[in-house]
Amino acid sequence: MQVSIASEPIKAGSPNLDWAGATDHVAVVLDGLTEGAATGCVHGTAWYVHQLGARLLLHAGARDASPLAASLSHAISEVAELHRNTCDLSHQGSPCATVTMVRQRERQLEYLVLSDSPLVIDLADGPMVVIDESEKVFSARLREQPGDLMQRIHHQQLHRNTSEGYWIAQHDPAAANYAITGTVDDARGALLTSDGAALLVTDYHELTWEQLLHLGYTEGPTGIIGATRKAEASDPDRVKWPRYKVSDDATAVLCRP
């Protein structure tokens, strides 16, 4: 695959809790969740996504690679072992991340999506969008109001990786069993994004998925992030688009066979 990557934090100088990486046949996007006041971890979310991402590329890219869900399960277990003796992994705020990944095998594209970072696959009859809506459904049940970010984080921490909430990569390898997986043939391309780079479609409704994919083809992943930042800058008070933050970390990865 030919792969182009762009990633940008909320603002210059801030840590980027997103992570993206690729080989010649595997691409991964992770979106680390915003930390609360306490996490039980001495390392933090940026450290977590770097460790998890590197291991996902290693396992999914191996010559005898297992299914993507198994690769994710192994990666989660290995990262948990890295800081089990230094951090409190039972803490509800322990670092965690969404996972979106693809693997090209000749004419077949394998995919995995865990939580709400979208995948858009370019097929001959139109884009196929893979996104896990379980976190959004969970938040809707709580009737949260945009702006109550700390309250939202607290509610999420109580219900992550439980049957009452939603599943995400953290320290329990069983989360991989809840990922959306599948294969498609003859994909013409794929766009992987963190949720912060998909807002023009998901929340702002300025573009369709097909238009977002086209923007990636014509202007690259940097064009997607640039268009998102331009839209956010036009609504700094969050009036047009009510949201928890003016902007978010944004990552986009474009793959072409």
Q: pLDDT tens track of the chain, all 257 residues?
A: 999 999 999 988 899 999 999 999 999 999 999 777 788 999 999 999 999 999 999 999 998 889 999 999 999 999 999 999 999 999 888 999 999 999 999 899 999 999 999 999 999 999 999 999 888 777 776 655 555 667 777 777 878 888 888 899 999 999 999 999 999 999 999 999 999 999 999 999 999 999 999 999 999 999 999 999 999 999 999 999 988 789 999 999 999 98
Q: What is the pTM of this model?
A: 0.93
Do 101 and 26 form a contact (C-beta atoms < 8 A)? yes
Mention every residue, 6+ apart, whose C-beta is less than 8 A from residue 141. none
Q: Is 248 exposed, middle or buried (0-12, 13-18, 19+ CB in 10 A)?
A: buried
Domains of the chain as residue ranges with CATH:
2-256 (3.60.40.10)
